[in-house]
Amino acid sequence: MKTIAKPNESGFRGALLQLYLVACLLSNLAGCSVFMAAQLPDRKNLEVFKPGVPRQVILAEMGLPTGYENRNGVRSEVYKFKQGYSQEAKISRAVLHGTADILTFGLWEAVGTPTEYIFSGTDMMVLVTYNGNDRVETVEYFKGGEQSE
């Protein structure tokens, strides 16, 4: 009777296979919360919304406005954006989530992903009115921001 020899899985090949499986598991543990923390929006410089600042400075920081109106020579623009976080804060959050994922074998994702979804930045809507020289005259915060009412 012929028998087919099986390779020795308990030797070097078995250890290599186990190491490969552990590496695959650990690479999958860094899940959504790490990626979400790294992809958060950047923090915008709200100091550009001060009276006297030229319109070009605001355009450079915020991009094009979402709406505008020119009535009787007075230009008003609406800026909508998501106020995000500094680069340091985003890196710290991603490292925290990655470490927690590894220490809890991925269970942290049940907490980390909803947390990142909730704290993904503040929606902002700002109305800026310019004078005849295209400099900021008044600023009103309609949504988000420390100065909203």
Mean per-residue pLDDT of the chain: 85
Residue 101 burial (C-beta neighbours within 10 Å; 0-12, 13-18, 19+): buried
Domain assignment of residue 123, yes or no:
yes
Question: Are the CB atoms for 48 and 57 separated by under 8 Å?
Answer: yes
**Domain range for 109:** 31-143
Tell me how many domains the chain contains. Answer: 1
Q: At what angle do helices 87-103 and 109-118 cross, to 10 degrees?
A: 160
Structure confidence at residue 14 (pLDDT) = 77
| 131 vs 126: CA distance, rounded Å | 17
| 55 vs 57: CA distance, rounded Å | 5
* Nearest-5° Cα angle at 41, 46 to 57: 35
Domain assignment of residue 111, yes or no:
yes
Structure confidence at residue 148 (pLDDT) = 45
Q: How far apart are the first and last CA of the chain?
A: 89
pLDDT digits (tens, 9 = 90+) for 95-124: 999 999 999 988 899 999 999 999 999 999
Res. 37: pLDDT tops 80:
yes
Domain assignment of residue 35, yes or no:
yes
Domain assignment of residue 148, yes or no:
no
| 106 vs 28: CA distance, rounded Å | 8
Domain assignment of residue 14, yes or no:
no
Domain assignment of residue 17, yes or no:
no
Res. 30: pLDDT tops 90:
no
Cα–Cα distances in angstroms (integers) from residue 134 to residues 70, 77, 83, 106, 149, in the given order: 12, 11, 24, 53, 26
Domain assignment of residue 24, yes or no:
no
**What DSSP state is assigned to residue 54?**
B
Domain assignment of residue 13, yes or no:
no
